[in-house]
Amino acid sequence: MTTVTGSCFCGEVRYEIDLPTRFCGHCHCSMCRRPHGAAFVTWTAVPPEQFRITAGEAALQTFESSSHGRRQFCRRCGSQMFCFHTRDDDAPPDLIDVTLASLHGPIDRQPEAHFYFDSRADWSKISDDLPKLGGATGIEPLS
């Protein structure tokens, strides 16, 4: 089993994930762009059992970014790190989204698609050949 470690910018919050990941892609939605201060955010994801906080859990701040989503960042340095979806039944999330940029090593895949591409910042010019997805769910093919 391959484990990849990650941390926030200041190093207070440390974590690790076990490969394999479930996906990797660039998200252009406004809820990603604003808190990250970026044109888009590159996420990967693992099931909860492949994810561990190894240090600094007390510095991890949770922000409820919607009625069904929570984001976590380091309250000391502001690094945005994790996102997970919550459901009505309070069940644990199926996947924990992890910012690829906070991981210290390579994972088992390259970015595979653009999500919420029709919500992208109009100053963001994308010239790669990856699938451009969007629509209401962010993952529908765009004609």
Q: Kindly state whether residue 130 participates in binding Zn ion, applying the rule CB under 5 A.
A: no
Rounded to 5 degrees, φ, ψ at 33 are -60, -45
113 binds Zn ion, rule: CB under 5 A: no
Residue 33 host element (H or E): helix 30-36
93: cis peptide before it, omega within 30°? no
DSSP string, 51-111: EEEEE-GGGEEEEEEETTEEEEEETTT--EEEEEE--TT-PPPS-EEEEGGGBSS--S---
Of 8, 17, 60, 95, which one interacts with Zn ion (CB under 5 A)? 8
Stretch that binds Zn ion, among 3-11, 45-53, 90-98, 122-130 (CB under 5 A): 3-11
With CB under 5 A as the contact rule, the residue among 17, 27, 81, 103 that binds Zn ion is 27
Q: Kindly tell me which residue out of 76, 86, 111, 131 binds Zn ion, with binding defined by CB under 5 A.
A: 76
Q: Which stretch binds Zn ion (CB under 5 A): 22-30, 46-54, 89-97, 106-114?
A: 22-30
Choice between 2 and 61, CB closer to Zn ion: 61
Decide: is 74 part of the binding site for Zn ion (CB under 5 A): yes
When asked if residue 98 is in the footprint of Zn ion (CB under 5 A), the reply is no
Least Cβ distance, residue 21 to Zn ion (angstroms): 17
Site of tokens 């910042």? 121
Number of Cβ within a 10 Å radius of residue 48: 12
Measured in degrees and rounded to the nearest 5, phi and psi for residue 117 equal -65, -30
Interface with Zn ion by CB under 5 A: which residues?
Answer: 8, 10, 12, 27, 29, 32, 74, 76-77
